[in-house]
Amino acid sequence: MTLKNKVAIVTGGSSGIGEAIANKLIELGAKVIIFDIKEPKSSLFNYYKVDITKDNEIKKAVKLIDKVDILVNNAGIYFEKYIEETTDEDIDKMVDINIKGTFKVTRNLINKLKESQGCIINIASCLGLVPELTSPLYCTTKAGIVMFTKCLAQEYADLGVRVNCVLPGPILTELLEDSFKNEEQKIKCAKRIPVRRIGKPSEVANVVAFLSSDETSYVTGGIYTVDGGVSTSSIYSK
């Protein structure tokens, strides 16, 4: 499997799952451009400081890019709040990033992707399929990304643009690690997952890389969970 001569944009690629995806695409020969509000640690990437909620910043970066073969819409935020605790500001922030940001980046790059007959991989979450009782807003936005994927796959299939969605479960990033108050909480989280462990960022990156490659040239509109079985079990939402 190779991505030689391919140009990929990864939003939110400076850390966590996005960083693992960017590293995997580089490993397979792609030129990787990162859109993020913070600079990546590695100098292997081309970096544009882009807040995906701001259309003018996206447009400014896109004008400097000649070709795009792969778009990975990874940038997003997560927090847990019951509906009674969720403020209008919370709603605006999460929808602006998780839904509108993904929409805006895609809208600004779709012509380049049509030119290259490229592909889009949207990073949603297994919580777009099964509920987490403490985060209804997040679950709703990620369910929206699943439907966004299906709509775009239908719209652009005859133009040669493939659109797929990857849905991670609990993945051991710095963000998740910091959310555990102690080792006991981490162990409890792992025990709730059918395979009895937390996933690694590289395991998400491997699936994204496969979907980015020509090996999946007949694959579009697909929804691929990388969640250790979380979305197949109702136990996680209890």
Active-site annotation, residues? 138
Q: Decide: residue 168, CB within 10 A, 0-12 exposed, 13-18 middle, 19+ buried.
A: buried
As a whole number of angstroms, the distance between CA 201 and CA 18 comes to 8
| Enclosing H/E stretch for 202 | helix 201-212
CA distance 20 to 97: 20
Residue from 79, 59, 72 nearest 124 by CA: 72
Cβ within 8 Å of residue 89, ≥6 positions away? none
